[in-house]
Amino acid sequence: MLSRITPKSIPILRTLSHSPHTFCTLTESQSQTQTQKLERIADEILSLTKLERNDYAILMRYKMGFNNYGPSVAGLGSVGGAGGGGSGAAAETKAAEKVIFDVKLEKYDAATKIKIIKEVRGFTDLGLKEAKDLVEKVPIVVKKGITKDEAEAIMAKLKDLGATVSLE
């Protein structure tokens, strides 16, 4: 049935989707105007790039209030149904795991300062002076809000240069 949806069938589907106690009081011209509006919106969405569609989907979920439940609700449903009696505790620990990390530069050897500044410039959008000022303010967070994989890669590079680095 869904493969046969045409612009003319949208008002019919709308009346079928309402409960029997509500009536669709749109006139034919109002219905056509709304159908044209929906077609225009659909065409605009389809013309977006993949990245823009992803951002649009996130925005729509946010605007519709689906973000209020967070990622743990979906995780609880799937983990809770698959496991036994102890699966609730496992789901809570999984939801409590940290997903976003900050890389904090604790200290470094003075001999490797220039190399550390170059490395900090490599994974940030800072200029030479800004990166130098940042490195000189140790202990300081040099990169915020990144995934664990990115954070570990940055930590490994900085540790190879002789810096003391931690995750927050």
- In CATH, the number for domain 101-167 is 3.30.1390.10
pLDDT in tens, 31-78: 778 888 888 988 888 898 888 888 888 888 878 877 655 554 444 444
Nearest partner of 137 among 168, 107, 102, judged by Cα = 107
pLDDT in tens, 114-159: 998 888 888 888 888 888 888 888 888 888 888 888 888 888 888 8
Q: How far is CA 35 from CA 13, 14, 29, 41, in A?
A: 12, 11, 10, 10
Structure tokens at 43: 């065409």
β-sheet with 164-167: strand ranges across? 140-146, 101-107, 164-167
Residue 84, helix vs strand vs coil? coil
R_g (Cα) of the chain, nearest Å: 26
Residue 82, helix vs strand vs coil? helix
Structure tokens at 39: 């077609």
Nearest partner of 14 among 25, 4, 58, 3, judged by Cα = 25
| Mean pLDDT of all residues in 21-30 | 62
User: Could you tell me the maximum CA-CA distance found in the chain, to the nearest angstrom?
Assistant: 79
Q: Is 21 exposed, middle or buried (0-12, 13-18, 19+ CB in 10 A)?
A: exposed
Structure tokens at 81: 């149904």
pTM of the predicted protein model: 0.42
Nearest partner of 141 among 128, 123, 115, 162, judged by Cα = 123
